[in-house]
Amino acid sequence: MLPCQLLWLKNKKGLTLIEILVGMSVGILVVLLASGGFVVGKNLYQKIVIKTNIVQNGRVALDRITRELRQTDEIFVESYSQGLPQSEQEATNSLTFQDGHDDLVEEGQKVISYITYQKNGNILQRKTTYYYFQSSPSQWVRAGSKDNLGNEALEGTFEDWQTIAEKISDFKVWQDENKIIHLKLVLEDKGEIFNLYSQVNPRNL
């Protein structure tokens, strides 16, 4: 071996134990920071997905109620003699109104059916009913009607309960002094709470 090569090997130094430990610590720190950022990003993404799904779920339901309610010409409020409650504090969680999209039957008489929305547990349900007299079950009449003998109309089911929205913690309906109907839908999932509102001015009332 040449003298210059021997001199180079003699002067060459390896990494000390401290340098190795410092290098390992820095590497571990970088990995931890990267994995921590990944976890934070993943959690944030999951929250955004939950929020998007739950809001979309509630918005579709609220838009459907608003669209149907806008066409009605009768709101049937069995529990309130003076109509819908006048404030959010007194609001009801059930709403029944005449279907404004009813078609005409062959005899030229309008089919009268009613749509009901109500909160049941953590779901929002929809049902379609009709009313008739026992003496003529094929003839649908308005809710609360009475025949010549004073018998009240009976209720029949046209479409049974269907789930319209889930994750519902509250559903409120009330009407202000200007006859504007207010709808409030509160959704909750995994600690996330979302409030959705809508106002309806029925065209035919």
- Averaged pLDDT, 109-116: 82
- Averaged pLDDT, 49-70: 86
- Averaged pLDDT, 149-158: 91
pLDDT in tens, 80-100: 445 788 889 989 899 999 998
pLDDT at residue 6, as a whole number:
45
Write phi, then psi, for 138 (nearest 5 degrees): -80, -10
Write phi, then psi, for 113 (nearest 5 degrees): -125, 165
Residue % of the chain over a pLDDT of 90: 35
In the chain, where the domains are located? 52-200
Do 196 and 62 touch, CB atoms closer than 8 A? yes
Residue % of the chain over a pLDDT of 70: 74
State the virtual CA torsion across 22, 28, 29, 33 in degrees, nearest 10.
170
Residue 7's pLDDT band, with cuts at 50, 70 and 90, is: very low
User: Model-level pTM?
Assistant: 0.73
Among the residues of the chain, which ranges form H helices?
Answer: 3-11, 17-70
Q: In whole numbers, what is the pLDDT of the chain averaged over residues?
A: 80
Residue 24's pLDDT band, with cuts at 50, 70 and 90, is: confident
Q: Of 123, 131, 122, nearest to 96 (Cα)?
A: 131
